[in-house]
Structures are given as C-alpha cells and as structure tokens.
Amino acid sequence: MLWFALARNEEQTLAVQIEEELRKRILASQLRENEKLPSSRELAHSLGVSRNTVNEAYEQLLMEGYIYRIPRSGTYVSKGLAFKKERRQIPQFEKQIHQSEGTMIDFKASQPALDYFPRQAWANTYKQVCLTADETVFGYQSALGHVQLREAIANYLGRLRGVEALPDQIVITTGATQALSFLTKLLHPVGEKVCVEDPVTEEMRSIFTEAGAQIEPIQTDEYGIKPVQLPKNHKPRFVFTIPSHQFPLGAILPVKRRIELVEYARKMKTYIIEDDYDSEFIYEGTPVQAMQSLDTEHVIYLGTFSKILSPSLRIGYMVLPFHLVESARRQKWFTDRHTSSLEQVALATFIQEGLFEKHIRRMKKLYAKRRKVLVEAINATFPQCDILGQAAGMHLVVRFNDRKRIQADELVKHQVNAIIVDDFSIKKGHHLNELVLGYGHLHEEDIQEGIKRLKKALTSCNTE
C-alpha cells in the first residue's frame, strides 16, 4: 500500500502535494519504471482524500510524462526517469547589519528628500495616463523610448541646459546606470584605455572595467578634471567627466576647461561622456550650459530623474550623435525591449504640465536651506577646514586642514556615517582628510546633530 503524509493546512492543494511526492519518489527510483501505481480509488482511500483529488494529481503527472496508462490494466511509472538530483550547495551570504532606525545619522551623498516626493501630483498624473492614454501605450514601444517623453526631454534640455537634441537622438534607459553601461559597450573599449576623473565612484569604474576597458585616472582638483593631464601619445576610447557638479569633489568645471576637453576630443577623434546627474540644483550664480552644447558629435550627454524625483523611478536617458543611435536602439531592444511605457508617458505628462519644474523649484529652496544649515554648522564647529563644492547639488566636501587623515571606524563608533573622499580615489593618498557630506535627505536638526557627532568622532581620531 502506498502512503505518505499530507498537510491539510498548507498553501499547496492536496492534489499538488500528491503530485510532488510521486514525482520525488519516481525520480529517486523509489517507484521504479513500469511499476504499477494504486488505482485512484485505492490511493484516495489510503491517503484519506477524495478520488477526484487523486485523479487530478494523476492527470497532471500523465501530462508531464511521469506515468502512463494501459486501458483496462492500470497506471504505471514511465521508463527512464531515474534521476539523482545533485545536492544543492547554498552559499553563506554576509548578513547585513541594520542600524536601529533613528540612531545613525547618515550623510549619504546624492540622496534626495524622499519625504518630499510629490505623491499626489504623481499619482494624479499616473492615474490620468492609465485612464485616458491611447491603447497603444499598453503595448510594445520603440526601444528608443516613448516619443512623448523624448520630445519632452528634448524641449526641457534645450531650454534649461542648452543641449542641442532632436527626439530621435534621445534613448530612454532604465536608469542612468544602464545608460552608462550601454554606452560603454557601444564604444567598444575592450582592451583600450578610457580616461576617468579621479576621484570617482566605484560604481562608475566597475561599469568600465566590466566592459573590458582599462582605466586611466585623470586628476581632478577644486575646479574639476584637468584637461592638461589627458594623454597625448595615445587615444583613449572616451573621456568620462561630471562637469556640472563633479562627484565627489563637487567642482563646477569652468568654461575654459570645457573648451579644452572638446578640443582634445576633436583632435584625438574620441568622445566625451558628460554625466549631468544633478545640475538642476545650483545655488550660487547661474548654471553653466551643458558641454554637449559646444559639440554635438563628440560629446554624449547622460541624464537621470532618480536624483530629482526618486531613485525608484528608474528612468534615465542619453543624447547621442545620430551615427550611434541605431546601435544603441538594438542594444536596448536586446536587453529589455524598452523601459516601462506607462511610467514614460506619466513622466512626459508630468514634465509637459509644468509639474516637474515646479517640483525642482520647491526642492531647490529646501536643499538651499539645508545646505545653509550645514555650512553654518561646519564653520562654527571646525574653524580650520575648507568647504568644497557647496555651490550646487546635494552634497559638499569638507577638508580638515588640522589633520592628515580621518579614521572611518571612529565615525561609526559615534553613530555618524560619511564617506572619506579617498575611498573614491583610484590613486590613493591624496584625499585622506576630506569627507563627503550629503544633506539633501537630512532634516535640519539631524544635520546639526550629525556635525556634533562628527566633532566627537574627529576628536577621538589620532591626528598625525
């Protein structure tokens, strides 16, 4: 008699449990090939279930080929199904240690104020799109992205950033990371050198090295990348720069250096990748136009909505020279067909109805206020320091001139988190006494408390 235990309160139905048990026994040769199985009536009686439940399980196993029937004879195990499953090795993953909410003050850079996300306006726009959009929005779209969003971006960039772009030059991506990854592969840097600002995030470097590129670091100072240090004896596949608010140093690249970069790209017949991730937030003076406005053939412009609206909105874009558009379209199609159409159209509507720029104005006031609180707290607490990159964005850098290095473990001990600039460096040792302090997501009282904790942490550090 065939019997096994069934769980009556499981999420799986009794029929599914019977199927799985019989599959397991057949594959393990506990039920051998051509062995006759109990009739549905017998097995139902043995297991204490209805005959219909057993019939349902048998029908599924019959369809999958585990069993076969002989009319007026019975049900049998199919041939050739003995199979020993390999024991699965489960790797030991490092457990993340979560700080208790409210204990650690995190000066994380480039983190927007998520509690100021325009929920009602976005929800209304999204609902409007779902209810009124043409039915084609719910189908497959061009890999380049929905034309309504590309038109909205082209108009917005032309008015506010000086970018010269037609909608057909814009490719919508699932975030700026995907855009940079696509672009790196598109330019075929395998085995070739690419020039990258130093310091820069590990994420950016990883994208380049994953594509097979060799990174050539170019020193960055308080004014941004130094074009004079670009190689003269070989052509890099491209030069990566963040001219509007360099990360992490926060520099705004002067026009003279921008022109020097473009002239270099023309001379060496290479490209400049311009990452423009948070240029909307300028607090001193007026924004410098994008480098792409100087040269549309050698400068490739990247942008994102993650830093302005929310990281959960995975929409980025790149503005390409026309000769690269078709290759980018194919690459995007093979990767994920296209970015979510509903979100694209909702974002396009959000931009076209003026809600996006309204949100930017609101956030700019908020970030300017938080920046002011942070700068005043730093100056009052650390008189022997320099503040870099405070003119724009959502972070700044503090250089502590009274010490040679900062100990990261002391910061953690005092429940404050901030990244040492040297952690972003390719060539180590030049930024050991500099900290990146992000403030966009922090309330004013948290900023002030964070600086107090930072003071205690640095007091504990061994000065050299």
pLDDT at 324 over 60: yes
Query: What is the CATH topology of the domain spanning 116-356?
Result: Aspartate Aminotransferase; domain 2 (3.40.640)
pLDDT attached to residue 58: 95
Before 383, cis peptide (omega within 30)? no
Nearest to 281 by CA among 360, 354, 398, 387: 360
Q: Is the Cβ–Cβ distance between 401 and 426 less than 8 Å?
A: no
Report DSSP state, residue 110. T
Q: What is the pLDDT of residues 164-185, one digit of tens each?
A: 999 999 999 999 999 999 999 9
Average pLDDT, the chain: 92
Q: What is the bridge-based pairing of β-strands 316-319 and 170-173?
A: antiparallel
Nearest to 283 by CA among 435, 395, 383: 395
Nearest to 301 by CA among 327, 288, 319: 319
Residues whose CB falls within 8 Å of the CB of residue 144, separated by 6 or more in sequence, listed in order: 150, 168, 170, 171, 172, 325, 328, 329, 332, 338
Q: How far apart are CA 195 and CA 204, in angstroms?
A: 12
pLDDT at 239 over 60: yes
Task: Tell me the angle at which helices 119-132 and 341-352 cross, rounded to the nearest 10 degrees.
Answer: 120
Tokens coding 456: 């205690």
Nearest to 180 by CA among 204, 201, 196: 204
What class does CATH assign to 14-77?
mainly alpha
pLDDT attached to residue 83: 77
3-state secondary structure 423-443: HHCCCCCCCCCEEEEECCCCC
pLDDT attached to residue 278: 84
For the segment 120-139, the average pLDDT, to the nearest whole number, is 95
Domain ranges of the chain: 14-77, 105-113+358-460, 116-356
pLDDT at 463 over 60: no
For the segment 103-115, the average pLDDT, to the nearest whole number, is 93
CATH 3.90.1150.10 fits 105-113+358-460, yes or no: yes
Tokens coding 47: 């297991």
What DSSP element (H or E) covers 221?
A: strand 214-221
Residues whose CB falls within 8 Å of the CB of residue 36, separated by 6 or more in sequence, listed in order: 74, 75, 76
- Judged by phi (left if over 0) then psi (alpha if -120 to 50, else beta), residue 250 lies in left
For the segment 114-140, the average pLDDT, to the nearest whole number, is 95
